[in-house]
Amino acid sequence: MEPTPNSHATLVDLLDRVLDKGLVIQADIIISLAGVPLIGVNLRAALAGMETMLEYGVMKDWDERTRSWENEQRKKKVEPICTTQIAR
Amino acid sequence: MGLEMQHGGKTHATLATEAIAEEEGRYVYCVADAGEKMSLGKIGIAGHEVHTIPHKDICAVVHDCLAQPYQSDDQEVIKTWAMTHQKVVETAWERWGTVLPLSFDTIIRGEAEKSAEQNVKDWLGQKYQELKRRIDKVSGKTEYGVQIFWNPKAIAQNLAQTSPKIKSLEEEIKTKPKGLAYMYRQRLENLVKHEMESKADEYVTIFYNRIRKQVDDIRVEKAKKAENDLQMILNLTCLVYKDKYIELGEALDRINQMEGFSVRFTGPWPPYGFV
């Protein structure tokens, strides 16, 4: 499988990175936006996460669970558990 | 394009005449692994000239601006800015190999007794060790996005055929009179829901562990809303050694070929998630 290069097909991925990730400088020489930034308010809504897709009622907490599980793994610094083969 | 007007309503022309230290700023795109002082041309947001501010063997990639954040209610304007931000980071990335991308709209301002340029230099100086450590961490590696989806309908159908609990409940329903069957249907729905949740957990763990083996570092991101009746069950950002993406692609192929599952693989990205 070849990765899709950064293009229009990946605009959401791009915005996700540029607006929500990247190095954040914590210093008083940084201009900051007070309170909720005007920037991308709607955009963030458009990029909304899991909450909006719970109509099915399926998988309510697994996302949170997965992430906290990963955090635990990270703390323990253990090698990943052996994988099992999935029957197709 | 009118983008200049978004920047606090001031234009580039007024910036030149109001060169008071406190009102000027440097929009920082990234920190690059090079001690060069140079111009990258007018490739910045709103056509600003992008240049570098070096300190020792690293530099900040910036453009000169007012000490005011870029903000807008217009999504298209923000998209254009964000894409330009990414373009500049990518240009620096191609040129110098290793960059630490900054988050959009990071502006270092000047102070009464110190220019914005000097503040950027001082910041590089104060944070030098930490920045170098982060540069070392991502050096020779690239970020990739991996999103795994499943088709809930296909998975539910599959479960109906394979889960003994669901099967036996379905059999039981057939023997019930109509009134009771309704109640049993509800019970069945809950059971399917529950079984799907544990399936999701199970697959997510398996996929995560498989992918983890192919990458240098990994982050689990919040799952996003998906289209075409699909659900995203795993959203990962992976830091991968230069050529290892081929092995990662092969591992993803195996997941992509499973019935009811699909994988989105994007990149290469500058390491936004690992700085």
pLDDT tens profile B126-163: 999 999 999 999 999 999 999 999 999 999 988 888 89
**What's the mean pLDDT in B245-266?**
96
Indicate whether A17 belongs to any domain. yes
The Cα B139–Cα B87 span in angstroms is 20
The Cα A73–Cα A87 span in angstroms is 26
pLDDT level of residue B269 (50, 70, 90 thresholds): very high
Q: How far is A74 from chain B (nearest CA, A)?
A: 10
Residue B253 has pLDDT above 60, yes or no: yes
Same domain, yes or no: B78 and B204: no
Indicate whether B184 belongs to any domain. no
Substitution target from A33, A36, A39, A88 for chain B, most B beta carbons within 10 A: A39
């191609």: which residue's tokens? B94
Q: How far is B174 from chain A (nearest CA, A)?
A: 25
CB contact under 8 A, B231 and A49: no
State which residue of chain A sits closest to B232, comparing Cα positions: A50
pLDDT tens profile B210-236: 999 999 999 999 888 888 889 999 999
Q: What is the CA radius of gyration of chain A?
A: 18
Give the global pTM.
Answer: 0.79
Nearest to B103 among A22, A56, A84 (CB): A22
Indicate whether A88 belongs to any domain. no
CA-based nearest residue to B147, from B35, B243, B266: B266
Show the CA angle centred on residue B86, arms to residues B72 and B69, nearest 5°.
30
pLDDT level of residue A40 (50, 70, 90 thresholds): very low
CA-based nearest residue to B61, from A22, A11, A27: A22
B50-55 and B58-66 strand pairing: antiparallel
Residue B176 pLDDT: 84
CB contact under 8 A, A52 and B225: yes
Three-state secondary structure call for residue A29 = coil
Here the ipTM equals: 0.83
Q: Does B155 touch chain A (CB under 8 A)?
A: no
Q: Mean pLDDT over all residues of chain B? A: 90
- CA dihedral sign, ordered B114, B116, B118, B122: positive
The Cα B50–Cα B122 span in angstroms is 19
CB contact under 8 A, A33 and B105: yes
Residue A38 has pLDDT above 70, yes or no: no
Residue B252, by phi and psi: left (phi above 0), alpha (psi -120 to 50) or beta?
alpha
How many domains does one find in chain B?
Answer: 2
Residue A56 pLDDT: 39
Q: Does the bond joining B164 to the residue before it have cis omega, within 30 degrees of 0?
A: no
Same domain, yes or no: B212 and B126: no
Q: Does A20 touch chain B (CB under 8 A)?
A: yes
Residue A54 pLDDT: 40
CB contact under 8 A, A62 and B201: yes
Q: How far is A32 from chain B (nearest CA, A)?
A: 7
Domain that holds residue B240: 141-159+197-274
CB contact under 8 A, A22 and B104: yes
Amino acid, res. B69: P
Indicate whether B164 belongs to any domain. no
State which residue of chain B sits closest to A43, comparing Cα positions: B75
Residue B19 pLDDT: 54
Three-state secondary structure call for residue A35 = coil
Domain that holds residue A69: 8-76
CB contact under 8 A, B224 and A1: no
Query: Which string of DSSP letters, residue by residue, matches B211-261?
Result: HHTT-SEEEEEPPB--STT-EEEEEEEEEEETTTHHHHHHHHHHHHTSTTE
pLDDT tens profile B59-81: 999 999 999 888 887 778 888 99
Indicate whether A85 belongs to any domain. no
Residue A63 pLDDT: 60
Residue A73 has pLDDT above 80, yes or no: no
Indicate whether A58 belongs to any domain. yes
> Residues of B with CB below 8 A from A47's CB?
224
Phi and psi for B208 in degrees, rounded to 5? -55, -50
The Cα A47–Cα B82 span in angstroms is 14
The Cα B187–Cα B92 span in angstroms is 58
Same domain, yes or no: B113 and B223: no
The DSSP output letter for B274 is G
Same domain, yes or no: B123 and B151: no
Query: Which string of DSSP letters, residue by residue, matches B4-65?
Result: HHHTTT--HHHHHHT--GGGEEEEEEEEES-----EEES-SGGGPPEEEEEETTEEEEEEEE
For chain B, percent of residues with pLDDT exceeding 70: 93
Q: Does B260 touch chain A (CB under 8 A)?
A: no
Indicate whether B92 belongs to any domain. yes
